[in-house]
Amino acid sequence: MRAPDLVLDVGGGDPVRLRCAAVLFDMDGTLVDSHACVEWKWRTWCAGHGLDADALLAVAHGRPQAETVRIVAPELDTERELDHLTRLEEGCTTGIVEVPGASALLDALPAGTWAVVTSAWRRLLRIRMGCAGLPLPAVTVTADDPVDGKPSPHGYLSAAARLGVRPADCVVVEDTPVGLAAGQAAGMRTIALATTFPADRLPAGLVVPDLTQVRLHRPGGGGPSPATGPDRKE
């Protein structure tokens, strides 16, 4: 298992310092701002079925699409609806950009120390990361993989195993209560981004506005070095 030799500075001013071996990210709302496309997809789909889009959006964020469909319309053929939803979302690229700070953080992280764990399909991950101008990691866990969706911890545990790190040495970055619950259930520390939900609805010890307040600590940059400095955890 790789040693926890990364140090993250979280927050502004006097940042909290987290020592870890890997950083595991959600995609939508965490690395990629795709809110416009996600909302358009669900509102279009709801209009076609006479469903309340606002009620659906209240439960959809962070969940696999199949689970959302089963929650709001259990009478529908889930597989057929997933095909329709996939066509809708793959056809929408308008307004997709990086969450502020995403490219700077990913560029700073060494190869093999980060992964993406998302309820999106792998093809959609590639489309949205590409539209946002973000790199793809060596390890991704998507809806194509045989793991239970969030809030199950399975996706995050799978990513840790594939990176060769202990769950306790991982930091999860998420924007939804469901995703944060998955990271916490995996025994990982969590950082919440208030990009989708208000801060008071995010069950994490560390909540920041976006990724501009999550930085890789650099020895000699004015703070203690990773080898000797304090490890202030949530």
Structure confidence at residue 224 as a pLDDT band (50, 70, 90): very low
**CA nearest to 88, candidates 129, 36, 25:** 36
Query: What are 143-200's pLDDT values in tens digits?
Result: 999 999 999 999 999 999 999 999 999 999 999 999 999 999 999 999 999 999 999 9
Query: What are 29-79's pLDDT values in tens digits?
Result: 999 999 899 899 999 999 999 999 999 998 888 788 899 999 999 999 999
Q: Hey, what amino acid is at 114?
A: W
**What does the alpha-carbon distance between residue 63 and residue 83 come to, in Å, rounded to a whole number?**
17
Catalytic member of 28, 33, 169, 175: 28
**What does the alpha-carbon distance between residue 155 and residue 182 come to, in Å, rounded to a whole number?**
8
- Over its C-alpha atoms, the chain yields an Rg (Å, rounded) of 18
Let me know if 148 is a catalytic residue.
no
Of the chain, the end-to-end C-alpha distance in Å amounts to 23
Which one of 1.20.1690, 1.10.260, 1.10.150, 1.10.730 gives the CATH number of domain 35-90?
1.10.150
The CATH code belonging to domain 6-33+96-216 is 3.40.50.1000
Let me know if 83 is a catalytic residue.
no
Residue spans of the domains in the chain: they are: 6-33+96-216, 35-90
Catalytic member of 5, 9, 14, 26: 26
Question: pTM for this one?
Answer: 0.84
Q: Hey, what amino acid is at 110?
A: P
Query: What are 74-99's pLDDT values in tens digits?
Result: 999 999 999 999 999 899 998 999 99
What's the whole-number average pLDDT of the chain? 91
